[in-house]
C-alpha cells in the first residue's frame, strides 16, 4: 500500500515538473520571439539597406544576362533547374560580397560606444564603406559592357586597360567617363547618407549593431550551407556551373579582388599529370631550326582586331580589300589559324614571345617577367640584326613599350616620335595608320640591315575611327564600321608597299601578317563561337618567292616567333610553344585560353575544352562535321581523339606551369 502511495506521489511530482518545464519553455520561446521581433523592428532600416544593395546587384545581373546573351549562345541554359542553380549561386556571391564589404562597418558600430554620438565620427565612418559599396556597384556595372571584350568578369587587367583611354582619350571618352562618374556619384551619395543614418540610429539606440552583425554572419553561414560549400573565399571553382555560365553568378568585385590576389606566385600551383619522360615525348618547348633561311629583313604587321571573316569570300562581312586580296594571291595564306586569347596584351606575348599567358595580368606586367624565354630582338642581335617596334599609340599604352624592351627590341617608336603629331588627325587610340606607316617607311631606310621591324596598327581597333577624308570617299551603306576601318588599313598598306618596293631592302625581305585577336566583324550581329571566335588571318609574303599557297593545317600566333627566327637565320636552340610556319604539320594541335580557367586544344577537326582549375575536360566537339557544337562526344572513350587531345592539353598545361614556376631552362 505504501508503495502505491509513493508511486502516485512521484507521478504527481513528475507531471508538475513537466508542466513547469513546458511553461518555462513557452516563456523562453515567447521571449526569444519577442526579442527577435523587437530586433528586427529596431534593425529594419539596416536590413532594408542591405536588401536594397542585394536587389540592385540582382538588377545588374539581369541587365548583364540579357545584354550579353547573344555573344554567349544564350548562356547554354538547360532548363528551370539550371536557372535555379544560377540564381542560387548568384545570391551566394552577392551576399558574400555585401557581407565582406560591410561587416567591418557594423563591427565598428558595435564597439564604438560613446564615439557613436560624435558628429565627426558619424560623418567619417560611413565614408570608406560607402566608397567600397560604390566600387562594388561600379565594377558590376562596367562588366555589363566590358564582358564583350574579354568574355569574363573584371580582373586586375582592368587597371591597365582603362588607364590609357582615360589618360589619353579624346572628348568622347571623357564624356562617357563623366556620365559614369555622375552615376556613381549618385550611388555614393545614397549609400553614404543611408550609412550615416544607420550610425546615428545606433547612437540613439534605435538599432543594434550587435544583433545586425549576428544576423549578417548567420545569413552568410546559412547561404554557405545552402550552396553546399565550405569555402568562404571566391577561389574558383566554387560551383558546379558550366564555365560559360559562371559570369552570371559571379560578383565583379570579388572576381577583381581574387584576381589581384592571384598576382602572387601561389596563383599558379604545380600541376602533375604525367612523368617527365612522357611529358617530353608528348610536348616540348625546346625548339631549333635545323636548316634556317639565309637572313632576310623581317617586317611583321600585327593587325589589331582583325577577324578571319575579312579575308573569307564566304563571309557576309568580307570588305573590298583590293591591295590585301592581291597580296594574298602571292602569299602563303593559313586559313585555319587561331589566336591564343581574346585580348591584345596576351596576343602580343604569344606572337613575339611564343609564350602563352597564364596570368590574369599581362605577362610583362606580372611577377613572372623573369620567366625563361627567347627574346626575338636579343636573339637576332646575335646575327647582327637591328630591331624596331612601331605603334601609333602614346608611349607605353597598355604596357607595349615595356613589352618591347622585355622582348629585346632595340628601338621603340610611338606617336610622340612622329614630327608634328599633335597637328595630325587622330584615332580615338592615337594616330591614324597612314601617318605611322609613313614614319615607319622613313625609319626603315636608315635602319641597318638585316632588321626586324614590327608595326602594330590601331585604326582597326574599336571604335574603328577612320580619317574624315577616307570616310567621305567611302559611304557604302552595307559596310560596318569594322569593315570600313579595314578598308582604310588596306589603303594604308597599299601606299606603304608602293613606296617600300622601290627601296633597296625590299627584295631581301619577308612580310608576315598576323592579327592580335579575333573581333566582331559587325557591331550589331554578335555570335561568339568556341572555334570561330578565335579564327584570325595569318599569311606570309616573300617577294623572292611570290607563289600563292593556301594551308589548311591548324596554326597559331605562337608560331610567329619560330618563323621570325627561321627567316633570321637563327640556328641556336630557343624556347617557344609554336612551330615554324614553313613546316606545317597536319597532326598539329594548337592551344588557346578562353578565360581565367578554361583552355582549348584544337586540331584539324576537333576542339577540346579543359578546365585547368578543376583539372578536367569539359567538352569535345568535331567542329568540322558539327559546326554548331551540338554533340559533345567527350564521353565516347573509344574515340582516338579523346585520349590524344586530352593528353596534349595536359602536357601543354604541365609544361607551361613548370615554366612559370621557374623549372624550365634553355
30-34, 86-90, 204-208, 397-401, range with the lowest pLDDT: 30-34
From residue 267, give the alpha-carbon distance in Å to each of 66, 100, 253: 32, 22, 18
The H or E element that residue 335 is part of is: strand 332-338
16 and 121 both lie in a single domain: no
- Are 307 and 520 in contact by the 8 Å Cβ rule? The answer is yes
- Structural domain boundaries enclosing 157: 43-261
**Cα–Cα dist 328/540, whole Å:** 8
Cα separation, 335 vs 537, in Å, equals 7
Radius of gyration of the chain (CA): 31
Pair (388, 255) in one structural domain = no
CA distance 18 to 22: 6
Please name the helix (run of DSSP H) or strand (run of DSSP E) that holds residue 609, with its range, or none.
strand 606-611
Which of 582, 611, 644 marks a domain boundary?
Answer: 582
For the stretch 5-32, pLDDT in tens is 555 545 545 555 555 445 554 554 454 4
Q: Are residues 326 and 385 in the same domain?
A: yes
Residue 293 lies in a domain: no
How confident is the model over 506-524, as a mean pLDDT?
90
- pLDDT at 233 exceeding the cut of 60: no
Which of 159, 177, 578 has its CA nearest to residue 345?
159
What pLDDT sits at residue 19?
A: 54
Q: Judge whether 276 lies within some domain.
A: no
Which candidate, 236, 258, 250, places its Cα nearest to that of 156? 258
116 phi and psi angles, rounded to 5 deg: -60, -25
3-state secondary structure 622-645: ECCCCCCCCCCCCCCCCCHHHHHH
Residues 440, 514 share a domain: yes
Model confidence pLDDT, tens digit, residues 448-505: 999 999 999 999 988 888 898 888 777 656 688 899 999 999 999 999 999 999 999 9
Residue 661 lies in a domain: no
In the 8-state DSSP scheme, what is residue 129? H
On whether residue 660 sits in a domain, the answer given is no
What global pTM score does this model have?
Answer: 0.79
Following DSSP, what letter does each residue of 167-210 receive, concatenated?
HH--HHHHHHHHHHHHHHHHHHHHHHHHHHHHHHHHHTTSS-HH
Q: What is the pLDDT of residues 279-337, one digit of tens each?
A: 989 999 999 988 888 899 999 999 999 999 999 988 889 999 999 999 999 999 999 99
> Rounded CA gap, 53 and 216, in Å?
13
Instruction: Please check whether residue 222 is in contact with residue 121, taking contact to mean a CB–CB distance below 8 angstroms.
Output: no
pLDDT of amino acid 2: 46
Q: Peptide bond before 374: cis, by omega within 30 degrees of 0?
A: no
634, burial (CB in 10 Å: exposed 0-12, middle 13-18, buried 19+): middle
Q: Is position 645 within any domain?
A: no
Total domains, the chain: 3
> Minimal CA–CA distance to 392: which of 443, 344, 455?
455
DSSP-based three-state secondary structure for 431: strand
Is residue 621 within a helix (H) or strand (E), and if so which, with residue range? strand 616-622
Given a cut of 70, is residue 190 above it in pLDDT?
yes
Helices (H), 43-79: 44-67
475 and 556 in a single domain? The answer is: yes
Q: Is residue 386 part of a domain?
A: yes
User: What SS3 class is residue 611?
Assistant: strand
Q: What is the mean pLDDT of residues 528-542?
A: 91
Same domain? For 16 and 156 the reply is no
Q: Residue 555 belongs to a domain with what CATH number? A: 3.40.720.10
Tell me phi and psi for residue 456, to 5 degrees.
-105, 105
- One-character DSSP codes across 502-567: TSTTSTTEEEEEEESS---SSSSS----TTGGGEEEEEEE-GGG---EEE-S-EEGGGHHHHHHHH
- Strand segments (E) across 373-507: 386-391, 411-413, 426-427, 430-431, 451-456
Q: Could you tell me if 560 and 512 are in contact, meaning their C-beta atoms sit under 8 angstroms apart?
A: yes
The predicted pLDDT at position 205 comes to 63
Q: What is the pLDDT of residue 513?
A: 98
Q: Which of 206, 240, 261 is the C-terminal boundary of a domain?
A: 261
Mean pLDDT of the chain: 82
**Co-location of 36 and 129 in the same domain:** no
Q: Cα(74)–Cα(156) distance, rounded to whole angstroms?
A: 27
Q: Strands 297-303, 509-515: parallel, antiparallel or unpaired by DSSP?
A: parallel
What are the pLDDT digits (tens) for 565-604?
Answer: 999 999 999 999 999 998 877 789 999 998 878 899 999 9
Indicate whether 29 and 67 sit together in one domain. Answer: no
Residue 48 lies in a domain: yes
- Evaluate whether residue 252 is within a structural domain: yes
Q: Kindly tell me if the per-residue pLDDT of 267 is higher than 90.
A: no
CA dihedral 301, 304, 307, 309 (to 10 degrees): -70
Q: Nearest CA to 354 among 565, 41, 61?
A: 565
Q: Are residues 421 and 520 in the same domain?
A: yes
Q: Which residues contact 109 (CB under 8 A, 6 or more apart)?
A: 116, 125, 198, 199, 202, 209
- Is 338 found in the same domain as 227? no
DSSP assignment letter at 245: G
Q: In this structure, are 208 and 185 located in the same domain? A: yes
Residue 30 shares a structural domain with residue 56: no
Distance CA 537, CA 312 (A): 9
Amino acid at each position: 500500500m505504501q508503495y502505491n502511495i509513493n508511486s502516485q506521489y512521484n507521478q504527481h511530482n513528475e507531471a508538475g515538473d513537466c508542466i513547469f518545464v513546458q511553461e518555462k519553455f513557452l516563456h523562453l520561446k515567447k521571449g526569444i520571439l519577442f526579442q527577435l521581433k523587437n530586433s528586427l523592428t529596431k534593425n529594419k532600416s539596416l536590413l532594408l539597406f542591405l536588401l536594397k544593395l542585394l536587389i540592385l546587384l540582382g538588377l545588374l545581373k539581369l541587365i548583364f544576362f540579357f545584354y550579353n546573351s547573344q555573344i554567349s549562345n544564350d548562356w547554354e541554359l538547360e532548363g528551370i533547374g539550371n536557372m535555379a542553380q544560377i540564381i542560387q549561386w548568384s545570391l551566394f556571391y552577392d551576399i558574400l560580397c555585401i557581407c565582406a564589404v560591410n561587416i567591418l562597418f557594423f563591427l565598428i558600430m558595435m564597439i564604438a560606444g560613446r564615439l557613436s554620438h560624435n558628429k565627426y565620427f558619424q560623418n567619417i565612418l560611413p565614408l570608406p564603406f560607402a566608397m567600397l559599396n560604390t566600387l562594388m556597384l561600379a565594377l558590376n556595372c562596367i562588366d555589363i559592357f566590358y564582358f564583350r571584350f574579354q568574355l569574363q568578369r573584371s580582373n586586375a587587367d582592368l587597371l591597365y586597360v582603362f588607364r590609357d583611354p582615360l589618360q589619353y582619350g579624346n572628348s568622347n571618352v571623357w564624356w562617357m567617363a563623366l556620365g559614369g562618374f555622375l552615376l556613381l556619384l549618385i550611388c555614393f551619395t545614397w549609400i553614404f547618407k543611408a550609412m550615416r543614418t544607420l550610425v546615428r540610429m545606433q547612437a540613439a539606440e534605435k538599432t543594434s549593431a550587435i544583433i545586425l552583425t549576428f544576423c549578417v554572419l548567420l545569413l552568410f553561414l546559412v547561404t554557405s550551407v545552402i550552396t553546399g560549400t565550405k569555402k568562404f573565399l571566391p577561389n574558383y571553382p566554387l560551383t558546379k556551373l558550366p564555365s560559360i555560365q559562371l559570369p552570371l553568378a559571379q560578383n565583379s568585385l570579388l572576381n577583381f579582388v581574387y584576381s589581384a590576389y592571384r598576382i602572387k606566385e601561389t596563383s599558379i600551383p604545380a600541376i602533375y599529370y604525367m612523368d617527365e619522360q612522357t611529358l617530353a615525348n608528348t610536348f616540348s618547348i625546346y625548339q631549333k631550326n635545323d636548316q634556317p633561311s639565309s637572313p632576310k629583313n623581317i617586317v611583321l604587321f600585327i593587325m589589331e582586331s582583325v577577324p578571319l571573316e575579312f579575308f573569307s569570300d564566304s563571309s557576309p562581312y568580307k570588305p573590298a580589300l583590293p591591295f590585301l586580296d592581291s597580296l594574298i594571291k602571292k602569299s602563303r595564306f593559313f586559313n585555319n589559324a587561331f589566336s591564343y586569347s581574346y585580348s591584345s596584351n596576351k596576343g602580343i606575348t604569344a606572337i613575339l614571345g611564343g609564350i602563352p599567358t597564364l596570368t590574369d595580368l599581362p605577362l610583362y606586367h606580372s611577377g613572372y617577367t623573369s620567366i625563361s624565354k627567347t627574346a626575338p630582338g636579343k636573339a637576332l642581335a646575335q646575327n647582327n640584326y637591328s630591331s624596331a617596334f612601331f605603334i601609333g599609340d602614346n608611349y607605353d599604352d597598355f604596357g607595349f613599350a615595356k613589352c618591347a624592351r622585355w622582348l629585346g627590341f632595340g628601338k621603340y617608336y610611338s606617336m610622340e616620335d612622329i614630327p608634328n603629331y599633335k597637328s595630325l588627325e587622330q584615332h580615338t587610340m592615337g594616330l591614324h595608320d597612314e601617318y605611322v606607316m609613313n614614319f615607319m617607311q622613313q625609319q626603315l631606310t636608315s635602319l641597318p640591315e638585316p632588321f626586324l621591324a614590327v608595326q602594330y596598327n590601331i585604326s582597326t581597333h574599336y571604335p574603328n575611327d577612320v580619317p574624315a577624308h577616307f570616310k567621305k570617299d567611302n559611304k557604302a551603306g552595307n559596310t560596318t564600321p569594322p569593315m570600313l576601318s579595314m578598308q582604310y588599313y588596306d589603303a594604308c598598306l597599299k601606299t606603304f608597299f608602293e613606296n617600300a618596293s622601290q627601296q633597296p631592302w625590299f627584295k631581301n625581305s619577308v612580310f608576315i601578317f598576323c592579327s592580335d585577336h579575333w573581333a566582331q566583324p559587325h557591331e550589331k550581329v554578335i555570335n561568339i563561337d568556341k572555334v570561330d571566335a578565335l579564327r584570325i588571318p595569318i599569311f606570309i609574303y616573300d617577294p623572292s618567292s611570290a607563289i600563292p599557297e593556301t594551308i589548311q593545317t591548324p596554326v597559331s600566333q605562337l608560331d610567329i616567333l619560330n618563323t621570325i627566327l627561321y627567316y633570321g637565320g637563327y640556328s641556336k636552340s630557343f624556347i617557344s610553344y609554336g612551330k615554324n610556319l614553313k613546316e606545317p604539320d597536319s597532326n598539329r594541335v594548337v592551344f588557346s585560353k578562353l578565360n581565367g580557367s578554361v583552355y582549348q586544344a584544337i586540331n584539324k577537326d576537333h576542339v577540346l575544352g579543359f578546365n585547368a582549375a578543376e583539372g578536367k575536360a569539359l567538352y569535345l566537339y568535331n567542329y568540322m562535321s558539327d559546326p554548331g557544337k551540338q554533340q559533345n562526344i567527350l564521353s565516347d572513350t573509344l574515340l582516338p581523339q579523346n585520349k590524344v587531345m586530352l593528353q596534349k592539353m595536359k602536357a601543354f598545361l604541365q609544361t607551361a606551369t613548370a615554366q612559370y614556376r621557374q623549372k624550365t631552362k634553355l
